[in-house]
Structure 1
Amino acid sequence: MNRKLVFQITIVLFFIIGCSEVQAQNKLTIVPQAKADAFPLVEKGIVPSILTDKDDAEVVTIVANALASDIGLISGVTPQVVNKSTNEEYLIIAGTIGKSQLIDELIKSGKLDVSSVKNKWESYTITTINAPIAGVKQALVVAGSDRRGTAYGLFEISKQAGVSPWVWWADVKPTPRKSLYVLPGTLVQKEPSVKYRGIFINDEDWGLNPWAAKNMDKDIKDIGPKTYAKVFELLLRLRANLIWPAMHDETKAFWYYPQNPVVADRYGIVIGSTHCDMMLRSNTFEWQKNYEKEYGHKPNEYRYDTNKAEVTKYWDDRVNAAKNYESMYTIGMRGVRDGSIVGPTTKEGKIALLDTIMTDQRKIFKKYFGADTNALQIFCPYKEVLSLYTAGLKVPDDVTLVWTDDNYGYIRQLSNPSEQKRSGSSGIYYHLSYLGGPHDYTWLSSNSPSLMAYEMTKAYQFGADKFWVVNVGDIKPAEMEIEFFLDMAWDTKKWTPENATQYARYWAEKTFGAALAPEIASIKNEYYQLAQSGKPEHMGILQFDNESKTKRLAAYANLIEKVNTVKSRVPKLLQDAFFQLMEYPVKGAALMNQKFFYAQMSLEVPATDGKLALEYSQKSKNALEQIIDLTHHYNKEIENGKWDGIITHAPRNLATYGMPKIANPEILSESLRKPQEYDKRYLNLTPIDAASTFKLVSINASDFKSKQEIPSEKIITVQGLGLDGKSISRYPFTGKSFATSDYAKAPYVEYNVNLKAGQYQLSLKTLPNKAINKERNLNLAIVVNEQTPQFIDTDNSKEDKNWSASVVRGYFEKQIPLKIEKKGAAKIRVYILDTGLALSRIDIK
């Protein structure tokens, strides 16, 4: 081997080893055993103090105290949080670059390198430094690029030490440790994928509000500063930075209580408002209920074309009150209660009025911020506003366009190439909980990580990197789903459609430990899969055939058995957490299916078999009683009643949560005989078929025999998505769309099926997605035995009865005629003309 080649190999090896060392160091590693040069986080009952600068942002001290509390939970000894150095060999030093004298002196002395995070957004570095200051042998140093960066860095220590973000909100208690050591090395956390990331507390009337009134903000009997302090701590633990506060009927406006925005500022949380509450106002309370108290007279109509002066002052006053807080303003206008804008009746008239409104709103920003671009602003084309935007409504370039899903997890529209060039970029408003037609789902949380990853990755690839907010209802019981959404927002490359199904195991291991993680993940993923074809809240409007009922009952019975088996091995300190995060939602979903299926079965048995009808009736009744008992246990018995009022088995007291019709109503107790209230919107819903009664052949889309891809793309199988738990799709989502005339150039998959000669129906079932934007389609081309292609449009954008059925049953269906001229193997080729289309199953009838 010549010397030049040896030299080249040496250089390559040196580079690989060097990169490996950098990658190995770029993490925070905390272990229970002492190692050379490791920093003692807990050692023989001694814990280091946490040193911060009193002139740094208040959130730094707040989170330092939270870290101290976390270490106390682990070790039994709580560190002190101090503002000046103590006579200790070891210290944790935390501060913000440019705001902390401690950090700045370490930088100036050359002991701390912050070049990779300085002037970045919400970034931080964590490292160990020997002899950082006089008298200190070693320090664990957290340096943030800004106040939230420092906070996230401190909570990273908690997380790596074994403290869950849900330590308080779901009672995930950490494993006690007598010793913990931080290994030498440096973690550099660069900027998050999405700039503003947060949650929207919504429909809180049946959980968070009564719970907060009874247990937290007892003085005001409402969601107030004590509750929000806990919410904001959770957001920081989840690396979020934004709140859309609760704004429903039972809750007074966030700004009604002066301490609420103060607390948000202390925690470094950006305050926003919903798609229908413009300029940080909360109209349901502030215009409808409290206007007279605030202004001394009743308001005129919330209508800009006839009441401009009153509405403008209403907005101006809020901007004036909010100008010193980190806030984000929703611009435009809608009705008071999430309805259409009041005024002109024509689309052109509404567009012209909205143009005037946004111009005037930006004059208010100029008045208080010096320029109309100096205030953070979003425009949300939600519901009917989307049609106005697509019809030509112009939105200022610096304003962030916030696209929405259809309330059921399927994004309506994303930015086209020209919109992706906007300086304001774009964002997403997404739902894990929803009140509205075709039916609410506000009880449990069952939107899967696979679905979220599919939709949110698509959004990110089309430029939605400025803002992600998720409707979380009452926060509980959507804990894992919230964490996944915010983890994705933090690092979209870590969780993708291809690996999202693995998140349940990752989460379970962090929450309940490695030994139980595989079983817990299996339960979670099957729970999501069953809900894909029928959420628990929708059992009253879905019709399953007998085979499907039998399969679902068996699957849920198996899940309950798995939950009970795992629960018996969960450590005592995590039993209540397991109940909240696993047992209640899984058993609740299973029992809801049992309640409806056994009720239906009691009515279907022959009249002569009264014993079987009685048995089914009793099983249905028992299921509802068990749901009520589980809910009572949640509210009254775990954690000494800490969660009293946080959950109800019947949000809004809708009929679906009550007792369905059974063959033997005489077995019902008086409490179960009471009729449930119906929301009038749901009275005339036609039951939705959830499963076809006859299929000759059924093929999962991922079971293709061959495929043809194109350069820079691939056809992926997404586990946990769609019917049967697998769907195929083109990836990345930015791939080109093919015209029907060019269908043969598109990627395809091919299936072989043995059929007799004859006429059939070919049914293709896809995820109920929408076309990515108005410049794209959602088409398939089907070619059978090289016959003339048939084209299928799978776009589910039109919100009609077909859309309602699709989002509730979990798939969109299109059928085409299939002619087989000769017995034997039939070759079915499916060309995928567009991205964003997820094909789940092919049925032949």
Structure 2
Amino acid sequence: MITVEEFTFVKEGNAAKIYLDPSGEDYAGLRRVAGSFAADIALVCGLEPDICTEIRELDGTAIIAGSIGTNGLIDQLIADGALDVSSIQGKRECYRIQVIEHPVQGVEQALVIAGSDKRGTIYGIYSVSEKIGVSPWVYWADVVPEKKPLLALSANLLHTTSKEPSVKYRGIFLNDDWPSLGSWVTQAFGDFNEEFYDKVFELILRLKGNYLWPAMWSAEFSLNGKSSPIASALHAEEYGIIMGTSHHEPLFRAGSEWQKVYKEYGTSNLWDFARNRQAITDFWEDGIKRNQNFHNLITLGMRGESDSALEGSDAENIELLKDIIRTQKGLLKKYHLEHAPQILAVYKEVEKYWYGTPDVEGLKDWDVLKDVTILLADDNFGNLRKIPAAHEHHRSAGWGMYYHFDYHGGPHSYEWVNTTPLDKVWEQMSMAFDYGIREVWIVNVGDLKPMELPISYFLDLAYDFDAWGTGAINRTAEYTGRWVEQQFGHALEAETVEGIAQILSDYTRMNGRRKPEIITPATFSLRHYHEAGRVLKQAIELEQAAEAIYERIPEPHKDAYYQLVYYPAAASANVVKMNIYAGLNSLYLERGSVLANIYAKLVHEATGRDKELERAYNSGMASGKWQGMMSSAHVGYVNWDAEGWKYPDVSTIVPATGPQMIVDVEGTERAYVSGMASLPVFTNLLQESYDITISNGGAEGFAFEAKSSADWIRLEKSEGWIVTGETLRISVDWDRVYGAASGEITLSGAGETVKVMVSTEWTDIQDVPPMTFIEAHHVVSIEAEHAISRVSKSGAEWKIIGNYGRTLSSVKMYPDGISFAQPEQAPYLEYRILLCQDGEYTLTAYTAPTNNLSMTSRLTYAAGFDGEKPVIADTLPVGYEGGNHDNEPWCRAVMDNIHTTATRHTLSKGMHTLRFYGLDAGLVLQKLVLSASPLPYSYLGPEESFYTGQRRH
């Protein structure tokens, strides 16, 4: 029972000693962690506590850390009734922290950190580090804690009893270790050795993870040690990190080991079990001999050389895999590891071997695998593939999920900065948990940096699903705010912390819309819906926001801010700008305008800025600590990998002799030169303004005049694409115009005149109910959350997931896993629409690029108007194969980050009610567009239409 008010760590030049029991089997690991904990205290107070192994050395105040049953002093406190551990005893990875008065003679008070096991104790120690203000990212992101000459915390704040982690094995995979991570590691540590991995192990434990797949492409975890070849594995065991190998590296052997050592086992270097059986078996056996005494999650199975598919037919490969797994299990039994935890990755083509084909039974019901955890996988782009059916959720050996924040493969790699918003991680991984995937969560983090925020979130979600999972819908913004507070809160105003959180959300959403590597000059429409202009404006504002906060960051925290926030946000925004400027350069070259030269210059400036930002990260930040870490090519991919990447090409134009006025009306396919016919422009409820860009095809010194014939036509200088002073924004003063009205704008320059006709379209909405969307330009565009009702049925309901998707938000059916055979059984969304004409309409549904979740399911919905029989549609095209980089529909979906599906409806002029029914689990609706004519190209689709009750700006 706590009777003291606070515990003092450091006071007047004295620091509480840290006591560990040297006889405990967990001593070596706890000693390592206690050393870093003591260093944390020194970071805060400038004084590093002593670590003691003799009780008699303790006096005053002390910190006592250990696991139940391995620390004699803690066991004595339990026996004496001073420490109650009943809530954690016998549980996995739990801790209890308590302040106790006079625990032993000479000690006035002690902070006792008792773990149910070694990792529980370590988590407890690092939780105290967090409470004194030290971030888990203290080393990996140079986060500086608040300095305090006196360090004392309230006993109530320290008093903690943890829960068992929600997911058993929670970890990260260091995959694409070159050029970035590998370059940094070799200059900082010499190799992927134990000195490097100690930093990784510590980070994982600070984040309450416990599992690691090590770097693999050119590194061998159990060979690259510095003090001994196997030093990294020895250190992992001491720290309590459970080691694995990736999905294609069986029985403790790194993928790159085989070609280096195959001559020890025979003359053939074939990685082919059918043709080189004995040599490969002996190779695996030596892996078991080497690593058998360490805690591992043992990978079974086999894929082809260098993470490729096996070479045979599906039937041949299924039989070959059975032979391989029997051989591997035989080896494990030989070395008494038959009951050690084992895992089989159902990754890429292995999914076919797991489920089988119409002609061949797969591995799914094979008894040999009943004690093996089955590791399922996403499609490499953060979208789950096949997941367990309801009757399979409680499989005895459990299920795992291999997820991706980084990927090296087709259709295009993405290996630079974070492109996966937390909202997507929440939606997909919460679904995984709800489907019973709770044994293993492992995420590919590429080079580790700069994935700091999503790594924290992924591991926290796995550790405490109750706090952040399905029941915590729309709390990712809260999580981000807390995370920013952890890194910077003590040094910044609350408003600045909020601004940083917004930047993190905005840049990942921008990158999630389309990954930077595959944004091109033609991605965003230069002609329709102000799309390129709107996206450019967002990028510029993001860059400016990041810059404004950087200026306010105190000097000691600038390095952390640069790597965690500024670089990924500003560099990502710069890639967007670069490509849009290149698109405008091409457009104005085609039109003969000297504006092409301005945009060519801007592209060159953006490419220079990209190089400078990278140089600052690698060389300028943190006194050059992260040299080489930011080296990945990230612009202009033309292949699946970075080979052939390049910055956008631009050209300049030689001006014509004499001035020439070129008028470019947004929404048109071509420019109009002086002397040509008048141009119609419609300003209405769908699009409230247009940009007209007046440029010069000739000499410098061009000037123009613009006059309006009607006082309800507003003419304003517009930023347009950039601030050139040559762009007009035309809009309507709705307080002055009424009914059908038309007027004209006269543009004069270079001795020529062009007239632009402006007219308004009117729809009487006086008696139209609220939340009615109005057709304009033959289009009604609706963000999914703006339903007039979300009707629950059969125990299912639609919920809004804020900030999720390419535009506003998303809606999804809950609980996860529920599907319906017929629309009348299903929950539905209801929308009200006012149409201006009779006709054949196309309803396009924009849905998240989710995959079908079982071999027999699809992703279907139904849509109908006015109570008539709804039309059923499948968001997945015929032949769709999620995760197959040779499958064009899937490639298109993950590159565009959307599925679009169309249904046809005959509708009359007037009011209509649309019902949208969800039929298959996993469907996520983002937007609906009803159109009476083909839509022009745009990446994001039409902006949302006006609806009654909406505030006009």
What's the TM-score once normalised by structure 1's chain length?
A: 0.88
Residue among 168, 174, 179 paired with 1:195 = 168
- The residue type paired with residue 440 of structure 1 is S
Distance in structure 1 (CA, Å) of the matches to 2:310 and 2:647: 39
- Look up the SS of the partner of 1:139 in the other structure: strand
Structure-1 residue corresponding to 2:925: 839
**Conserved 8 A contact 2:521-2:581:** no
Structure-1 residue corresponding to 2:508: 528
Which stretch shifts more, 156-165 or 725-734? 725-734
Deviation at 1:763, TM superposition (A): 0.4
Which stretch shifts more, 125-134 or 348-357? 348-357
Structure-2 residue corresponding to 1:320: 289
Assess, with a 3 A threshold, how the Cα gap between structure 1 residues 179 and 725 changes in structure 2: closer, same or farther: farther
Distance in structure 1 (CA, Å) of the matches to 2:565 and 2:248: 34
**Conserved 8 A contact 1:208-1:223:** no
Structure-2 residue corresponding to 1:10: none
Structure-1 residue corresponding to 2:201: 232
Structure-1 residue corresponding to 2:814: 731
- The residue type paired with residue 409 of structure 1 is G
Superposed, which structure 2 residues align to 1:250-289 within 5 Å?
A: 250-256=218-224, 257-283=229-255, 285-289=256-260
Structure-1 residue corresponding to 2:773: none
- Look up the SS of the partner of 2:195 in the other structure: helix
Structure-2 residue corresponding to 1:680: none
Deviation at 1:665, TM superposition (A): 10
Structure-2 residue corresponding to 1:642: 625
Structure-2 residue corresponding to 1:803: 890
Deviation at 1:578, TM superposition (A): 0.3
- Look up the SS of the partner of 2:445 in the other structure: strand
Residue among 48, 53, 60 paired with 1:78 = 48
Structure-1 residue corresponding to 2:612: 629
Distance in structure 2 (CA, Å) of the matches to 1:752 and 1:118: 58
Residue among 140, 146, 156 paired with 2:117 = 146
Assess, with a 3 A threshold, how the Cα gap between structure 1 residues 539 and 782 changes in structure 2: closer, same or farther: same
Distance in structure 1 (CA, Å) of the matches to 2:895 and 2:778: 21
Query: Does 1:567 find its partner at 2:647?
Result: no
Which stretch shifts more, 567-576 or 135-144? 567-576
Assess, with a 3 A threshold, how the Cα gap between structure 1 residues 713 and 607 changes in structure 2: closer, same or farther: closer
Assess, with a 3 A threshold, how the Cα gap between structure 1 residues 695 and 469 changes in structure 2: closer, same or farther: farther
- Look up the SS of the partner of 1:753 in the other structure: strand
Which stretch shifts more, 621-630 or 648-657? 648-657
**Conserved 8 A contact 1:73-1:174:** yes
**Conserved 8 A contact 2:222-2:231:** no
Deviation at 1:288, TM superposition (A): 2.1
Residue among 151, 155, 164 paired with 2:126 = 155
Distance in structure 2 (CA, Å) of the matches to 1:657 and 1:178: 52
Structure-1 residue corresponding to 2:317: 350
Which stretch shifts more, 179-188 or 131-140? 179-188
Residue among 499, 504, 508 paired with 2:475 = 499
- The residue type paired with residue 155 of structure 1 is Y
Distance in structure 1 (CA, Å) of the matches to 2:803 and 2:301: 38
Assess, with a 3 A threshold, how the Cα gap between structure 1 residues 143 and 656 changes in structure 2: closer, same or farther: farther
Query: Does 1:42 find its partner at 2:10?
Result: yes
Deviation at 1:770, TM superposition (A): 1.5
Deviation at 1:705, TM superposition (A): 0.3
**Conserved 8 A contact 1:762-1:844:** yes
Assess, with a 3 A threshold, how the Cα gap between structure 1 residues 640 and 542 changes in structure 2: closer, same or farther: same
Deviation at 1:464, TM superposition (A): 0.7
Structure-2 residue corresponding to 1:757: 838
Which stretch shifts more, 482-491 or 778-787? 778-787
Deviation at 1:65, TM superposition (A): 1.1
Assess, with a 3 A threshold, how the Cα gap between structure 1 residues 399 and 649 changes in structure 2: closer, same or farther: closer
**Conserved 8 A contact 1:398-1:422:** no
Structure-1 residue corresponding to 2:581: 598
Mark the runs of 5 or more structure 2 residues left unpaired by the alignment.
Answer: 357-361, 655-775, 932-953
Residue among 697, 701, 709 paired with 2:780 = 697
Distance in structure 1 (CA, Å) of the matches to 2:9 and 2:167: 32
- Look up the SS of the partner of 1:357 in the other structure: helix
Distance in structure 1 (CA, Å) of the matches to 2:94 and 2:408: 37
Determine which structure has more spread, i.e. the larger CA radius of gyration. Answer: 2
- Look up the SS of the partner of 1:826 in the other structure: strand
Query: Does 1:619 find its partner at 2:589?
Result: no
Structure-1 residue corresponding to 2:344: 379
- The residue type paired with residue 229 of structure 1 is D
- Look up the SS of the partner of 1:465 in the other structure: coil
Deviation at 1:610, TM superposition (A): 5.2
- The residue type paired with residue 604 of structure 2 is K
Distance in structure 2 (CA, Å) of the matches to 1:354 and 1:201: 26
Mark the runs of 5 or more structure 1 residues left unpaired by the alignment.
Answer: 1-21, 26-34, 667-692
Deviation at 1:296, TM superposition (A): 6.9
Deviation at 1:297, TM superposition (A): 5.0
Distance in structure 1 (CA, Å) of the matches to 2:895 and 2:381: 8
Deviations 1:29-66 (A, max 9, x none): xxxxxx96211123334321111111231211111111
Distance in structure 1 (CA, Å) of the matches to 2:328 and 2:643: 43
Deviation at 1:703, TM superposition (A): 0.4
Identity %: 33
Deviation at 1:541, TM superposition (A): 8.6
- Look up the SS of the partner of 2:900 in the other structure: strand
- The residue type paired with residue 512 of structure 1 is F
- Look up the SS of the partner of 1:429 in the other structure: strand
- The residue type paired with residue 844 of structure 1 is L
**Conserved 8 A contact 1:520-1:566:** yes
Deviation at 1:396, TM superposition (A): 1.1
Structure-1 residue corresponding to 2:214: 245
Structure-2 residue corresponding to 1:28: none
Deviations 1:594-640 (A, max 9, x none): 22111121111055755311111111111111111111111111111
Distance in structure 1 (CA, Å) of the matches to 2:220 and 2:329: 27
Structure-2 residue corresponding to 1:545: 525
- The residue type paired with residue 545 of structure 1 is S
Which stretch shifts more, 419-428 or 467-476? 419-428
Distance in structure 1 (CA, Å) of the matches to 2:649 and 2:570: 22
Superposed, which structure 2 residues align to 1:189-588 within 5 Å?
A: 189-216=162-189, 218=190, 222-248=191-217, 250-256=218-224, 257-283=229-255, 285-292=256-263, 295=264, 298-342=267-311, 345-369=312-336, 372=338, 374-391=339-356, 392-393=362-363, 394=366, 396-496=369-469, 497-513=473-489, 515=494, 516-540=496-520, 543-546=523-526, 547-588=530-571
Deviations 1:214-249 (A, max 9, x none): 112x2xxx211111111111111111111101111x
- The residue type paired with residue 298 of structure 2 is Y
Distance in structure 1 (CA, Å) of the matches to 2:250 and 2:268: 17
**Conserved 8 A contact 1:766-1:838:** yes
Deviation at 1:499, TM superposition (A): 1.7
Deviations 1:326-373 (A, max 9, x none): 11111111102111124xx33222211211211111111111125x2x
- Look up the SS of the partner of 2:816 in the other structure: coil
- The residue type paired with residue 428 of structure 2 is E
- The residue type paired with residue 658 of structure 1 is K
The structure carrying a bigger helix percent of its residues is 1
Assess, with a 3 A threshold, how the Cα gap between structure 1 residues 223 and 358 changes in structure 2: closer, same or farther: same
Which stretch shifts more, 827-836 or 533-542? 533-542
- Look up the SS of the partner of 1:207 in the other structure: helix
Deviations 1:365-409 (A, max 9, x none): 111125x2x121111111100011111223611111111010100
- The residue type paired with residue 67 of structure 2 is T
Distance in structure 1 (CA, Å) of the matches to 2:452 and 2:508: 14
Assess, with a 3 A threshold, how the Cα gap between structure 1 residues 655 and 349 changes in structure 2: closer, same or farther: closer
What's the TM-score once normalised by structure 2's chain length?
A: 0.78
Deviations 1:436-479 (A, max 9, x none): 11111101112011000101000001111100100000001111
RMSD of aligned residue pairs (Cα, Å): 2.1
Deviations 1:733-781 (A, max 9, x none): 03x31103xx212111100011122111110011011222235442211
- The residue type paired with residue 209 of structure 2 is A
Deviation at 1:655, TM superposition (A): 6.2
Query: Does 1:780 find its partner at 2:747?
Result: no
- The residue type paired with residue 93 of structure 1 is I
